[in-house]
Amino acid sequence: MTRFLPFEVIAALRFLREGRMQTGFILAGVTIGVGVIVFLSALLAGVQSNFIRRVLSSQPHIVLLPPEEVARPQRGGDAGVFEDAVVQRPAQRLRSIDQWQAILGQLRAMPEVATAAPVAAGAALAVRGEVGRSVTLEGIDPASWYEVVRLPDYVTAGTLRLTSTDVVIGIELARLVGVQPGDRIRLSAANGRDAVLTVTALFDVGNKAVNERNVYVALRTAQSLLNLEGGVTSLELTVRDVWDAEAVAQRIHRLTGVRADSWIATNAQFVTALNAQVTANTVIRIFVGLSVALGIASVLVVSVVQRSREIGILRAMGARRGQVLRVFLIQGGLLGLAGSVSGSAVGAGTILAWHSLARQADGTELFPLVVTGSLFAGAALLACLTGVLAALAPALSAARLDPVVAIRG
């Protein structure tokens, strides 16, 4: 079959076969490098996916809120006279978003928005007998809000039902006030209104503070308790690309004039930690790639020195500089390609071992690694390019050899 291959490929394969030991060592190095890159990339993608799932599964991507109350100094009197007034921040009151139905329609029409839902929320007191706990009362429309926050996925007891006389609470609050599904609990708002509701379900979102403070009722029930007839305190929505949430929030603010807070802005430390992980992984991959490139380059430099006489003979027999150049570039590419195939296999094996061995205390999987076909294709392409670029300097050196000098040794 080699008879039908170009001269450069035949010469490259022969040089690699004659230096079996050197070829084996560099293939091992490329294999380990590619395996490390594949595993680290899958690990980082898995960590990010797990973190984002935990953070965003129990909260919306963007929240629209009414403007805050502000005080403005009054000026008057004689012209040219300015009175230096001390302006005190006014007490904030529960307000509804103006024309929220029209804004909600605008949000749902935006292509970047996946779903949006109205919420009426405020402070309340949950009372059971002589025990009372401060809670955050959230009135929701189940049909739309369950698409924003997948509350049904976190129900641990009871049946998720929200009529005008029902309430859903977290497992921590249930423990503190001593209730279970089917019991009744009193919710009292700060304005003095109260209602006795039936606990239909308990939830656990994996966050103790949320499990202790959040209670969910029907939207009309919350509007009545909070004295917000027909109003809502926020519009909560999800976007199709979670990393585009801040840009979408700014676009919504410009479009509607309503304050829009994205999860990226409200979880700044979390986003910083994710960016630090991405940077660290990129730096590791760069250094691994450099080590692979230096290994390939060093082997090919030695190959040029060892085969200078053969190169001189080839040049004397009519081989052009470009052909000699391509011989060593092909060697680098073949080393990168072969190493990427074996490295991808090693990386896949490591990922399978991770899934089998990395377990939590209860025996469940720690978190899944994200493996895609593009991961292996990208690693193979990177290895081949690294091999070709690493071979460039030795190839130029070989192409510049003078045939007479090379033959004389």
Q: What is the pLDDT of residues 104-161, one digit of tens each?
A: 999 999 999 999 999 999 999 999 988 889 999 999 999 899 998 888 989 999 999 9
The neighbouring-strand residues paired with 234 are 119
Q: Compute the chain's Rg from CA coordinates.
A: 33
E strands in 84-233 = 113-128, 131-140, 155-158, 166-170, 184-189, 194-203, 214-218
320 Cβ contact list (under 8 Å, min separation 6) = none
- The domain limits of the chain are 2-55+271-408, 94-240+255-259
Our CA dihedral for 144, 147, 151, 152, rounded to 10 degrees, sits at 90
**Residue tagged 């039936």 (tokens):** 198
The neighbouring-strand residues paired with 135 are 124
Specify burial of residue 86 (Cβ count, 10 A radius: 0-12, 13-18, 19+).
exposed
- DSSP run (H or E) holding 63: strand 62-65
Alpha helices in 267-320 (DSSP H): 268-306, 308-316
Phi, psi of 156 (to 5 degrees): -110, -20
The DSSP letter of residue 242 is G
Q: Residue 24 half-sphere exposure, CB side, CA atoms within 13 Å? A: 4
CB neighbours of residue 360 within 10 Å: 9
Q: What is the pLDDT of residue 22?
A: 78
| Closest to 329 (Cα-Cα) out of 3, 24, 16, 4 | 16
Structure tokens, 23: 């070829």
Q: What is the pLDDT of residue 363?
A: 61
Point out the residues of the chain with pLDDT beneath 70: 1-4, 68-93, 306, 359-368, 404-409
The rounded distance, in Å, linking the Cα atoms of 308 and 322 is 16
Structure tokens, 385: 């390019």
The SS3 of residue 333 is helix
The rounded distance, in Å, linking the Cα atoms of 256 and 240 is 20
Q: What is the pLDDT of residue 74?
A: 57
| Closest to 119 (Cα-Cα) out of 63, 165, 69 | 63
Q: What is the pLDDT of residue 405?
A: 66
pTM, to two decimals: 0.68
